[in-house]
Amino acid sequence: MNSQRDMRILAVDDEVIFHDILHTIFTVQGYQRTVRCQSASEALNLLRDPAQHFDCILLDIQMPGMNGIELCSHIRAMPGFAATPILMLTSMSERDYIDQAFAAGASDYITKPINEVELNARLRAAFNSIQETKRIEALTWQVETTSVENVDIRFSDVITLPESKDLMAYLAMQNFMLTLGNLRSQSWTAVGLHIIGAAQFFAAARPRDFLEMVQDVAISIQDSLKTHKYLLSYAGNGEFVALIDRTTPVDPDGLQERLTDLLAPFAEFHVAAAGLPVGVCVGQPCRNSILSFASPIAPIERALRSARQKAIETEPGCTSEVAI
């Protein structure tokens, strides 16, 4: 697959005219490998068929029977579809459903009425995501099967953690906040979590051990946030971002203490792998103010900076500033 136009795309929408529109746009734009269906059950049958393969899936949100959000959850639970780009087709009236869709595993969204420029841009992003997934899959295969000394992994990689369920792709999290816009994104508070010693761990340990350490931290964060409504992503560089519903505020110091306790049982393995235990610094919760013109993803970036700064203050010389 050399370009986005080579993707095999499944479009699921119950409106025949919408399919005709989509087919026309796809044809004019040079997308030749598209398949349409009109219901969730039809889509699931196609996706379960081993003779079929789809690189990207477009789902209408409002459909009779199983809706697009439920269908998205079903697809994500199917083997082989954990990283397939799923783009939701939404009208303005369905903006309320968008956060549900992202929580169900959607990668991005396309707004109806459909615009050929926007459609192309979203599909390009989906294609780029597929390429990145392939690179990571190849990397994981290398980690599992070859001499780990030569594996091409970078500290900054936004690694997918296959064993950490309910972890959102970092790009999807950014898309989610952009979709919500300035006003609605204020209902989420971003909290950055920086793994103290991650860079040193990366430099000293085998890539597989680094991945396992990051996974240990992910599980601990999920455990410590289980009473909150949240979304969690790994952002690369030994850093996580949690978006936490503002109705269930989080105390960063309390969260950090809890994480210290939860990571304690892993310390022995981490010391054996890299010669040092890891800790987690939790930064200050960040949210745009109501009058802010800053980008909806600005709180994510500020949250990561806050956690990083706190790590520097806590353990000077023990952060990702180390050149890898």
Choices 60-68, 77-85, 136-144, 289-297; region in contact with another protein by CB under 8 A: 60-68
Site for another protein in 94-133 (CB under 8 A): 112-118
Does 70 bind another protein (CB under 8 A)? Our answer is no
CA angle 142, 148, 152 (to 5 degrees): 65
Does 32 bind another protein (CB under 8 A)? Our answer is no
Put the strands of the sheet holding 230-234 in their side by side order.
167-168, 230-234, 239-245, 188-196, 279-282
Does 270 bind another protein (CB under 8 A)? Our answer is no
Shorter beta-carbon distance to another protein: residue 92 or 323: 92
Q: How far apart are CA 271 and CA 264, in angstroms?
A: 11
Q: How far apart are CA 55 and CA 27, in angstroms?
A: 17
Minimum distance from CB of 236 to another protein (Å)? 34
Minimum distance from CB of 36 to another protein (Å)? 13
Nearest CA to 309 out of 202, 193, 199 is that of 193
Q: How far apart are CA 266 and CA 256, in angstroms?
A: 16
Minimum distance from CB of 111 to another protein (Å)? 10
Q: How far apart are CA 74 and CA 91, in angstroms?
A: 22
Shorter beta-carbon distance to another protein: residue 116 or 166: 116
Alpha helices in 13-89 (DSSP H): 16-29, 40-48, 68-77
Of positions 5, 15, 103, 228, contacts another protein by CB under 8 A: 15
Q: How far apart are CA 7 and CA 125, in angstroms?
A: 12
Does 14 bind another protein (CB under 8 A)? Our answer is yes
The strand pair at 86-90 and 279-282 is best described as unpaired
Shorter beta-carbon distance to another protein: residue 29 or 284: 29
Minimum distance from CB of 290 to another protein (Å)? 25
Minimum distance from CB of 116 to another protein (Å)? 6
Per the listing, tokens 């579809």 go with 81
Does 91 bind another protein (CB under 8 A)? Our answer is yes
Minimum distance from CB of 88 to another protein (Å)? 13
Binding site for another protein (CB under 8 A): 14-15, 17-18, 20-21, 24-25, 27-28, 60, 62, 64, 89, 91-93, 112-118
